[in-house]
Amino acid sequence: MRRVVITGLGVVSPIGCGKDDYWKALAEGRNGVDKISLFDTEGHTAKIAAEVKNFDVEPWLDKKEARKTDRVIHFVIPAADMAIKDSGLDIGGTDPNRMGVYIGSGEGGITTTHDNYDILKEKGPSRVSPFFVPMMLSNMPAAYVAMKFGARGPNMAVVTACSTATHCMGEAMHAIRRGDADVMLVGGVEAAITPIAIAGFANMKALSTRNDDPGHASRPFDKERDGFVMGEGAGILVFEELEHAASRGAHIYAEVTGYGNTCDAYHITAPDPEGGGSVRAIKLALGMAGWNAKDVDLYNAHGTSTPLNDKTESGAIRRVFGDYAGTLPVHSTKSMIGHCLGAAGAVETIAAIMALERGIIHPTINYEHRDPDCDVNIFSQAIERRVDRAVINNAGFGGHNGVLAIERFRG
């Protein structure tokens, strides 16, 4: 079996860009949620989000290229470049036919879609941008990264809503294991803080309306949670075949050892109340990794801060881990960066990797009121603890479940 290791991390997030700034903010419990500044929220019931602010894309894209590309491209190219540089990978010395890209986006270029529809209504068909079609497609981040870095190997944009990035990573693991590639740039990107997306999620009662207290709006597993907070950003990782990484002396953050992919087949938005799909996905990841439930040192939860998701996920944790669920450390990165939708799995996997690397489990901020329906071991403060094995869980509308198992590299 070809082994798959992680050698590079790149992140653009609401609380920091680059793995070190991102991790420092997570460990400190820094909140990234605030009033929406990207558009006028007059008339909206949800007026808060976790935006990527003060981010200059010009070191990666010139002004002309930035103007014709969507915000998802503005996030994914820097994150991919950061990951490649962090890995020490020599792009020029890497066989381009053995380097692939699996990067997804749940909403794709929704900003481009929104803006061009306004142009169509106000100025007519002739004024719609010729770049509209390619820039609104969900596959374009994967295609753009491939073009930017010359990756001619397998290329795919998995789109499974909020489990997108996790499925991209799991499928990339399989691609390397079966010999399709030696290096894969993997992850997810999202930039969906737009009037129509916020209105749509709010009207289905999915978003928090704690508009006067944005710092406490994202509160996974807390009894007073009232919905998720939209986030945005990108997380890109370099997955590499072990011998390929070892031959160039790469720093190895972790090994990818397990992956679970299931569907609830229950409802277009609501999770299966019994959590059956999630339970199966977790067990599949543990089985592939060869772990027992008590081997897991950290569970990075989907933890959206919605009433149904957190209750269902807590039940799934108890079903899989049994009595150990009372002591298994559980946390939610979304408490600080909101829900980054298709990018969630990637930015949260980077958080879990940094926990392995730094020996710190970041807090779930805003966890103040215990909910009997969420009877799991939520860490509200950062703690120093050795982490050898972590599970990252994500779920998406449509009943998609994705789970990744990573562990400290042991040689």
SS3 86: helix
Residue 411 has pLDDT above 90, yes or no: no
pLDDT at residue 1 is higher than 90: no
Instruction: Using the predicted structure, report yes or no on whether residue 279 has a pLDDT greater than 90.
Output: yes
* Beta bridge pairs of residue 262: 401
> What is the average per-residue pLDDT within 132-144?
96
Per-residue pLDDT reduced to its tens digit, 146-205: 999 999 999 999 999 999 999 999 999 999 999 999 999 999 999 999 999 999 999 999
Other CB atoms closer than 10 Å to residue 371's CB: what's the count?
18
Domain residue limits, the chain: 4-247, 254-401
CATH number of 4-247: 3.40.47.10, 3.30.470.20, 3.40.50.150, 2.60.40.2300? 3.40.47.10
Q: Judge whether 302 and 313 are in contact, CB under 8 Å.
A: yes
With CA atoms as reference, report the closest residue to 184 among 257, 105, 108, 245: 245
89 vs 263: CA distance, rounded Å: 36
Q: How far is residue 194 from each of residues 102, 107, 151, 168, 233, measured CA to CA in Å?
A: 25, 11, 31, 25, 14
Q: Where are the alpha helices (DSSP H) in 178-230?
A: 195-203
Mean pLDDT of 94-106: 98
Task: Decide if 4-247 and 254-401 have a common fold.
Answer: yes
Q: What stretch of H or E contains 118?
A: helix 110-123
Average pLDDT of the chain is: 97
Average pLDDT over residues 196-222: 98
Q: Residue 179: how many CB atoms within 10 A of its CB?
A: 10
Residues marked active site are found at 162, 302, 339
DSSP string computed for 342-408: GGHHHHHHHHHHHHHHHSEEPP-TT--SB-GGG-S-B--S-EE----EEEEEEEETTTEEEEEEEE-
CATH 3.40.50.2300 fits 254-401, yes or no: no
> What is the token pair recorded at 31?
């909140």
pLDDT in the model for residue 123? 97
- Rounded Cα–Cα distance for residues 126 and 131 (Å): 13
Cα 153 from Cα 240, distance rounded (Å): 13
Give the per-residue pLDDT at 335. Answer: 98
* pLDDT at position 224: 98
At 324, is the pLDDT very low, low, confident or very high (cuts 50, 70, 90)? very high
**210 HSE (CA, 13 A, CB side):** 20
Whole-structure pTM value: 0.97
| pLDDT above 90: residue 52 | yes
Instruction: Determine the residue type at 101.
Output: V
Mean pLDDT, residues 227-232 taken together: 98
- Predicted pLDDT of residue 94: 95
Amino acid 232: pLDDT: 98
Task: Determine the Cα–Cα distance for residues 349 and 355; give it in Å rounded to an integer.
Answer: 10
Distance CA 133, CA 131 (A): 6
pLDDT digits (tens, 9 = 90+) for 351-373: 999 999 999 999 999 999 999 99
- For the residues 297-301, what does the mean pLDDT come to? 98
